Structure 1
Amino acid sequence: MSALAAEQTAAEPPVDSVAVAERTPDQRQPYAELGMTEEEYRRVRQILGRRPTAAELAIYSVMWSEHCSYKSSKVHLRQFGEKAPKSDALLVGMGENAGVVDVGRGLAVTFKVESHNHPSYVEPYQGAATGVGGIVRDILSMGARPIAVMDSLRFGPADAPDTQRVLPGVVAGISGYGNSLGLPNIGGETVFDPCYEKNPLVNALCVGVMRHEDIKRAHAPGPGNKVILFGAATGPDGIGGASVLASATFDEESQAKRPSVQVGDPFMEKLLIECCMELYREDLVVGIQDLGAAGVSCATTELAAAGTGGMHIVLDAVPLRDATLRPEEILMSESQERMMAVVEPGKVDRFLQICAKWEIPATVIGEVTDTGRLVMTWRGEVIVDIPPGTAADEGPVYERPYEPPADLASLQADTPGRLARPATAEDLRNTVLWLAASPNLSSKTWITSQYDRYVLGNTVLAMPEDAGVIRLDEESGLGVAISLDGNGRYTRLDPYAGAQLALSEAYRNVAATGARPLAVTNCLNFGSPEDPGVMWQFARAVEGLADACQALGVPVTGGNVSFYNQTDDQPINPTPVVGVLGVHDDVRRRVGMAFPGEGHLLVLLGETREEFGGSEWAHVVYGHLGGLPPLVDLAAERALASVLIAAAREGLLSGAHDISDGGLSQALVESCLRGGLGCRITLPGDPFVTLFSESVARAVVAVRPGGEARLAKLCEAAGVPATQLGRVGGDSFIVEGLFSIPLHELREAHERLLPSYA
């Protein structure tokens, strides 16, 4: 037994864990209530060669939960590694808390997106707030300073009572936590669809920056090194959150799960960030892990499994907010604002001094061993004695059966071609206004105005821009652009193509600002993996995303899988959300979406086809979902990106906006309103198709005077079609020969929806 254990245990020597487990051999163990199957429980007994203690059962139940072990998705997620394109920029890939990429000048950036869907339905404010806090700590645990956050939100219909309950709380939770941390929220998306009623999606992204040499790892090497728990005290909030909330479907009893939602304290987290940065600067940390899902169970098993292989923990030493907590509750608690560090013995005093300076409670709770066992004691008894890798890395792996949903063929056959199109100029005008005022395309200012977008002073672009842009280096102008996108309707119609379309839009958004796309993170939101139809959607989406990343040359650095997003037997639309990070060599040459220059030429880049499957037009006007989504063209996306990046670098563009939901019409509306100037255009071909088709690999750009010929050469060299549309100017959106809409009328339509529900 270690010296630490001898100091902190009771007078009686510890008893063998087998004896502890077998004192009540006839008492039923609640493995099913903890989310384990009978087969999984039997496997635990086989691993241990005995009946598990209550504390061991708690560890295995949370570590083998769907949320922590990825047991239904591992077999498919391997493609991200197997098909990963070669990237000299990738410094840390999948398997760590977050991926890390080299962005130049000795700097590295880490970014990741995760879900907090179920907690945000049960308790919207705290669910969303702690989602932000958790992803920030993931970034912090890599050794980086968090510098910005983003979010991807999905709710039921905007006027549904459930949405009216959930949306304000989620937005308040994101703003309340992020603003208190002093982190700018630079972008994201908000989508409304009936499929998300009673199962909202709250996906949070964080990005951080560090020097290459400052990267930290989640491992516990070196026998004799001390294990320090620091941050907030452990309480009853969040107990079983990973297994109870994130690994089960919703039903009418969901509100009873409120105790499983964590409670956040952003001011403690702000102190924790500054404390960690000072600890890193003085090189006091050998390994570090944040405490999120599965709490102490996760941190200890993962650190031990990735290190020398053994660890001894005195659970009595864990600081508690509630002295009545049982050992298994301490292990399963997901109380927020906690970190676990591995520290050399000679550096412990200085570590504790820095924590005290920042008013961060810190306690030595154990030490690293070379036994290959994770051993925990409680009041003089050994209550845990397991091989840590069996909990952290060797959970069950399921190859679940899958097949296309029964209704997929009929859904794809129900094309939008049967829907009546606008027949007159007045109909076209009304359609422009309807789309601009629709829930998914209307202004989200009511939401984003609650977020601090410019704190820290390095925000260059923020919502509603195509991508958020952050300056990293003042002298050179080095910066990064990030976009977060997804489309559940497209993925419902074709999961393979839908995932690729999510990636291509985020890739295009980053390129539209002038940044070079570099790496990918993702959050895969799906229904129950036990449903063969859902599992087929997931398998196809992962395959599509892996293939597209390979084609575009952008590796997946990490991400998150969120299953069981359904109410009773009704799953959400499969919703892969994809984040793309790009690099700006100089953010002073970034391009925004506004059209600010009177008389500047407007050019449509890319090919427009008649594509309305899953479109906003069909959804808004008819509530229709059917047909096939737009054709994926990854070669065209790469070509378009090359033109946008080169044109930005050469200063040819005054504005650029990708074309996606709502088509060219919506892109022009948003850019005109953003810049405060109208436009006068002439439409090539069928006005309806040109205005509202959602063909991909397209953008509309405003060209600075004198740059027209050079842009044409860039497009010709890359094989990108370029069509002159007209000019920027005036105070109306004018389509020659068809209609004119004053900007004030467009603005009123675009901005009225969300405030009316506030």
Structure 2
Amino acid sequence: MTLDTVKHAEQTSDTPQPWAELGLKQDEYDRIREILDRRPTGAELAMYSVMWSEHCSYKSSKVHLRQFGEKAPQTDALLVGIGENAGVVDVGQGYAVTFKIESHNHPSYVEPYQGAATGVGGIVRDILAMGARPVAVMDPLRFGAADHPDTKRVLPGVVAGVGGYGNCLGLPNIGGEVVFDACYQGNPLVNALCIGVMKHEDIHLAKASGAGNKVILYGARTGGDGIGGVSVLASETFDDSKPTKRPAVQVGDPFQEKLLIECTLEIFREDLVDGIQDLGGAGLSCATSELASAGSGGMRVELDTVPLRDATLSPEEILMSESQERMCAIVEPGKVERFLEICEKWDVIATVIGEVTDGDRLEIFWHGEQIVDVPPRTVAHEGPVYERPYARPDWQDALQADDANALPRPAGGDELRAAALALISSPNQASKAWVTDQYDRFVQGNTVLAQPEDSGMIRIDESTNLGVAVATDGNGRYAKLDPYTGAQLALAEAYRNVAASGATPLAVSDCLNFGSPEDPDVMWQFAEACRALADGCLELGTPVTGGNVSLYNQTGDTAIHPTPVVAVLGVIDDVTRRTPIAFAEEGQLLYLLGDTKEELGGSAWSQVAHGHLGGLPPAVDLGREKLLAEILVSASRDGMIDAAHDLSDGGLVQAVAESCLRGGFGARLVVPDELDPFVFLFSESAGRAVVAVPRSEELRFNDMCGARGLPAARIGVVDGDAIEVQGQFTLPLAELRSAYEATIPALLA
């Protein structure tokens, strides 16, 4: 077979090429020919196809994502924003924290263990590439119906992959979610988040500058696994044939990644790199084009020097491979020897594969023959931009008119008790210990809060107890009813969860999971969610630092619920002042903060009791969310509360049950005169929390809430070994715990 060189491409303009099989459209292929003023070589076609894929280029979402920059709140805390591998924020005392959330959805359906494992590995390398030591991971997960046979295939594999990879890296898994809904059948959402810590001066960026500087590929050898990988899998809709695409799923080696992490951190300490990029989606195609595009010159690469696991790989396959545990560094010639010495010390393969040039082209050679000659920006940053048509769906009005508030509801103590027990033991509300017990939550010794707390919290300085908290949230049912409100509710809940633990919310990362962008209904949902998050972050003062878009999450014509998952990071000056959710001492006074209204649209109760989805989601008041957060943080810092738990899915009865079970003490609750007992227990009104106040602090706490205008109603006391709603029912903790803990193991037995 003749090598398809640049010279050959110039001479064979009419040669048919498999552009459609690689996921390109006719107009995209035509544009590539226009850019190059000739047909692309096979290697160039491979690069453009993966880099212009939906997953890598954001071609359907760019026009809406711009709002995150245009409406960004002004804050001195933001050190690195959107556009790099991950955002970086200043958390004080000279420390910077980087965090990001990404998806590995389609690979995790095709091959659950490796799909999830390599999702963790990829996000960890993104954090590492910023110059930070990874310190924790989180995993928001969504699966199909809990009793569906395929959930038994996908969920255990995903959980084992997340736990296996993270545990082997020695990274604590401090939070996340597990949600079941039939809409995710065939399209599980496996989102992974990583947090990293560094000093301000240690920040590194992905750029290739300085003519003569060397391009070094280091880490694992390049193999045939992951050819096209997530860049292909995540850029099309699933159909019944997709599970046969197993070769496209990357295979991870966490022990190789651990060596890569320690090797890279030592390289950083000795200041040996001018630019660095991890190899994730699109592999070498991405790393070389992005480094060259962000730098001041060009790049020349000798592709035949790349270390391989499979000597039969073609140049195109090498460029498209998404084999894991690889990094690409730009190193000054005088530092190359020391760089290679450190790699050898850590048993990490390192090879000089090219150098930075003073030109403006990315040139790739194969055994002396030129196979790529492209302007790097056209590959990495100037791909297609689509303004896809979108419109409010015809069915939206009917969905919202199907009011959940009108559903038959329990009346009387016995029915309320049965409804509470059914809710708390339902798959979405029941204990997720079967999942989280497979994760090491406390390795490294700096975890101070982890599942099932409202947020995960890590100490980042042992001498001062400075720490950060992160929470992830997203409710696809709310977003289905109203994507604008649903997205803001996700933001508000994550913001509230961070504040409930005592940390001040600081910044946002998001993972936007939606159906096909070629469906105007889906694009309307996506546009509304982006507008909502941009507006909400501006009002809350929490900039979006980066994130991920995952589209084509649908099977045939059936899309998942729009699922914007929002991660909020907060800072706490002293982690010993953190607030747990547990009611851990008898006599503590229980206060309900915020306003409770009859808001049941999209609620857990409507789903469990009636299998219903309709009406409007709870209203959002971001001003109230800010006030509530300020009260929670101040009360935590000043010792006015011993416990706090936000109210969200399942309402008050769910939050109280979780806090009682966590602390081992019961609670006596009194229904306020102005509230119906059912609404009091099951409403999902936003902007609320339940707190446990020491009797000695009641006056001071009430004065603070009154002075700030935050509604605060005393609703009970921590007492006994049961949840007693006076005048209605009593639910012993032993019975509650048995029901709460039995559901998930029984489903997966």
Normalised-by-shorter TM-score class: over 0.9
Alignment correspondent of 1:11: none
Alignment correspondent of 1:184: 172
Alignment correspondent of 1:121: 109
1:735 corresponds to which of 725, 729, 737:
725
2:343 corresponds to which of 355, 359, 384:
355
Shift of 1:406: 2.1
Partner amino acid, structure 2, of 1:510: V
Structure 1 residue 447 and structure 2 residue 407: aligned? no
Alignment correspondent of 1:219: 207
Question: Any conservation in 2 of the 1:250–1:568 contact (CA below 8 Å)?
Answer: yes
Alignment correspondent of 1:295: 283
Alignment correspondent of 2:251: 263
Partner amino acid, structure 1, of 2:735: E
Matched residues in 2 for 1:393 and 1:648: separation? 45
Matched residues in 1 for 2:553 and 2:605: separation? 26
**SS of aligned partner of 1:368:** strand
* Cα displacement string for residues 210-252 of structure 1 (whole angstroms, at most 9, x for unaligned residues): 0000000000010000000000000001101134201011100
Matched residues in 2 for 1:556 and 1:26: separation? 46
Structure 1 residue 695 and structure 2 residue 685: aligned? yes
Matched residues in 2 for 1:24 and 1:426: separation? 81
**SS of aligned partner of 1:383:** strand
Alignment correspondent of 2:225: 237
Shift of 1:457: 0.1
Alignment correspondent of 2:709: 719
Alignment correspondent of 2:497: 509
Partner amino acid, structure 2, of 1:474: E
1:50 corresponds to which of 38, 45, 50:
38
2:363 corresponds to which of 375, 379, 392:
375
Alignment correspondent of 1:617: 605
Question: Any conservation in 1 of the 2:450–2:457 contact (CA below 8 Å)?
Answer: yes
Question: Any conservation in 1 of the 2:227–2:317 contact (CA below 8 Å)?
Answer: yes
* Cα displacement string for residues 23-58 of structure 1 (whole angstroms, at most 9, x for unaligned residues): 654442111111100000000000000010000000
**SS of aligned partner of 2:273:** coil
Matched residues in 2 for 1:729 and 1:15: separation? 78
Shift of 1:16: 10
After superposition, residues 493-508 of structure 1 pair within 5 angstroms as 493-508=481-496
**SS of aligned partner of 2:137:** strand
Matched residues in 2 for 1:279 and 1:649: separation? 39
Question: Any conservation in 2 of the 1:18–1:50 contact (CA below 8 Å)?
Answer: no
Question: Any conservation in 2 of the 1:227–1:343 contact (CA below 8 Å)?
Answer: yes
**SS of aligned partner of 1:619:** helix
Alignment correspondent of 2:507: 519
Alignment correspondent of 1:10: none
Matched residues in 2 for 1:717 and 1:477: separation? 30
2:65 corresponds to which of 72, 77, 85:
77
Shift of 1:729: 1.4
1:397 corresponds to which of 370, 385, 408:
385
After superposition, residues 244-259 of structure 1 pair within 5 angstroms as 244-259=232-247
**SS of aligned partner of 2:66:** helix
Partner amino acid, structure 1, of 2:374: I
Matched residues in 1 for 2:632 and 2:34: separation? 58
Question: Any conservation in 1 of the 2:405–2:598 contact (CA below 8 Å)?
Answer: no
2:471 corresponds to which of 475, 483, 500:
483
**SS of aligned partner of 2:661:** helix
* Cα displacement string for residues 601-624 of structure 1 (whole angstroms, at most 9, x for unaligned residues): 000000001000000000111010
Alignment correspondent of 2:160: 172
Matched residues in 2 for 1:479 and 1:101: separation? 13
**SS of aligned partner of 1:521:** strand
Question: Any conservation in 2 of the 1:65–1:242 contact (CA below 8 Å)?
Answer: no
Partner amino acid, structure 2, of 1:274: E
Alignment correspondent of 1:570: 558
Matched residues in 1 for 2:147 and 2:161: separation? 20
**SS of aligned partner of 1:653:** coil
Question: Any conservation in 1 of the 2:104–2:230 contact (CA below 8 Å)?
Answer: no
* Cα displacement string for residues 624-683 of structure 1 (whole angstroms, at most 9, x for unaligned residues): 000000000101100100100000010111110000000000000000000000001101
1:202 corresponds to which of 190, 206, 210:
190
Alignment correspondent of 1:3: none
Matched residues in 2 for 1:500 and 1:627: separation? 17
After superposition, residues 311-350 of structure 1 pair within 5 angstroms as 311-350=299-338
Question: Any conservation in 2 of the 1:602–1:701 contact (CA below 8 Å)?
Answer: yes
Partner amino acid, structure 1, of 2:86: A
Matched residues in 2 for 1:89 and 1:290: separation? 25
Structure 1 residue 460 and structure 2 residue 456: aligned? no
Alignment correspondent of 1:41: 29
**SS of aligned partner of 1:668:** helix
Matched residues in 2 for 1:440 and 1:748: separation? 16
Partner amino acid, structure 2, of 1:341: A
* Cα displacement string for residues 479-519 of structure 1 (whole angstroms, at most 9, x for unaligned residues): 00000000000000000110000000000000001100000
Moved more, 414-423 or 502-511: 414-423
Partner amino acid, structure 2, of 1:387: P
Matched residues in 2 for 1:294 and 1:713: separation? 57
**SS of aligned partner of 1:706:** helix
Moved more, 332-341 or 237-246: 237-246
Question: Any conservation in 1 of the 2:446–2:460 contact (CA below 8 Å)?
Answer: yes
Matched residues in 2 for 1:25 and 1:605: separation? 70
**SS of aligned partner of 1:97:** coil
Question: Any conservation in 2 of the 1:413–1:627 contact (CA below 8 Å)?
Answer: yes
After superposition, residues 420-439 of structure 1 pair within 5 angstroms as 420-439=408-427
Question: Any conservation in 2 of the 1:130–1:262 contact (CA below 8 Å)?
Answer: yes
Q: How many residues align?
A: 745
After superposition, residues 646-725 of structure 1 pair within 5 angstroms as 646-684=634-672, 685-725=675-715
Shift of 1:20: 2.3
Shift of 1:274: 0.3
Question: Any conservation in 1 of the 2:646–2:655 contact (CA below 8 Å)?
Answer: yes
**SS of aligned partner of 2:696:** coil
Question: Any conservation in 2 of the 1:309–1:388 contact (CA below 8 Å)?
Answer: no
Question: Any conservation in 2 of the 1:216–1:287 contact (CA below 8 Å)?
Answer: yes
Question: Any conservation in 1 of the 2:467–2:575 contact (CA below 8 Å)?
Answer: yes
Shift of 1:418: 2.9
Matched residues in 1 for 2:147 and 2:613: separation? 20
Alignment correspondent of 1:600: 588
**Identity within the alignment, %:** 69
Task: Give the direction of change, closer, same or farther, for the CA distance of 1:15–1:249 in structure 2 (3 Å limit).
Answer: closer
Alignment correspondent of 2:8: 20
Partner amino acid, structure 2, of 1:190: V
Matched residues in 2 for 1:732 and 1:382: separation? 75
Alignment correspondent of 2:735: 745
Shift of 1:404: 1.2
1:307 corresponds to which of 285, 288, 295:
295
Partner amino acid, structure 2, of 1:697: G
Alignment correspondent of 1:385: 373
Question: Any conservation in 1 of the 2:599–2:685 contact (CA below 8 Å)?
Answer: yes
Structure 1 residue 60 and structure 2 residue 48: aligned? yes
Shift of 1:17: 4.4
Question: Any conservation in 2 of the 1:68–1:242 contact (CA below 8 Å)?
Answer: no
Query: Could you list the runs of 5+ residues in structure 2 that have no partner in the other structure?
Result: none
Shift of 1:309: 2.7
2:535 corresponds to which of 547, 550, 554:
547
- TM-score under structure 1 length normalisation: 0.97
Partner amino acid, structure 2, of 1:553: G
Question: Any conservation in 2 of the 1:614–1:627 contact (CA below 8 Å)?
Answer: yes
**SS of aligned partner of 1:720:** coil
Shift of 1:21: 1.6
Shift of 1:757: 2.5
**SS of aligned partner of 2:245:** helix
**SS of aligned partner of 2:642:** strand
Alignment correspondent of 1:145: 133
